[in-house]
Structure 1
Amino acid sequence: MDRQTVGSTQRGRLRVDVRNEGSSAVVTPAGELDHHTADLLREPLEEAVSQGRARLVVDCSQLEFCDSTGLNVLLGARLKAEAAGGGVHLVAMRPVVARVFQITGAEAVFTVHDSLESALAD
């Protein structure tokens, strides 16, 4: 399996790591995703799609908080990925993050996995 670290960036309360694994871009946000940090996640998701990696796996295991702006970033990435023939797979959401998706009904439009392994195998 192709494992390549693409990049990492950090601004305040959010760090985002990106690596390519097979045909997927694995994006791992760690910390708080809100209106102050949303672009830090939006940019690598959009870049992955523009580089032909339309299958985005977002490992949420280290994501401690997500507000509506963060949710909108993921919804926007989903639309772009699907337009390119892919999709967004969310992995290992903590209860506080999952709650935002449940309240808004957004969990219905994403494929959610318990583990990174299952997301990559799907």
Structure 2
Amino acid sequence: MLATDTDHRTDVAVLHLRGELDSDTASQLHKLLADLLERPVPRIVVDLTDLKFCDSVGLSAFITCKQVIDARGGWLSFAGANPFLTQLMETVGLSRYFAIFPEVDDAIAAARI
């Protein structure tokens, strides 16, 4: 099961994902992202540290919210991906559209530059 929560640090929402992100849990992610996209300027860091698996259905949730984020002048980045997830994101081309950082604090710091 995918357990998620959000943590707001100043103007950045940190979304912590755990477990597996697949067709069974993607709807939960869609709901959380929809709530975060209601912010005037959505700035989201997705913490993948405890995410063990992700399939194409899970990845599509991030892709579908990108247009909304771009239109509002915000951004979405990833942090803490394990080697499997890093390779998966590079293989499907997400690394061209989303920044991937080693740690959540790195992603937040990069946003401040």
Ranges of 4+ aligned residues in structure 1 off by more than 2 Å: none
Partner of 1:100: 88
- For the residue of structure 2 that corresponds to 1:71, the secondary structure is helix
Q: Which amino acid aligns with 2:69?
A: A
**Among candidates 55, 65, 74, match of residue 77 of structure 1:** 65
Instruction: Give the gaps of 5 or more residues in structure 1.
Output: 1-12
- State TM-score, norm by structure 1: 0.84
**Among candidates 52, 68, 76, match of residue 40 of structure 2:** 52
Matched, 1:33 2:24: no
1:74-119 CA-partner distances (Å, limit 9, x unpaired): 1112222111110111001111112221211121110111111111
Q: Check whether the contact 1:91–1:115 (CA below 8 A) recurs between aligned residues.
A: yes
| Structure holding more strand per residue | 1
Matched, 1:116 2:104: yes
Instruction: Give the gaps of 5 or more residues in structure 2.
Output: none
- State TM-score, norm by structure 2: 0.91
Q: Identity over aligned residues, as a percent? A: 28
Partner of 1:10: none
1:15 shift after superposition:
0.3
Q: RMSD of aligned C-alpha atoms?
A: 1.1
Q: Which of the pair has the greater relative contact order for Cα pairs under 8 Å at 6+ separation?
A: 2
Q: Which amino acid aligns with 2:3?
A: R
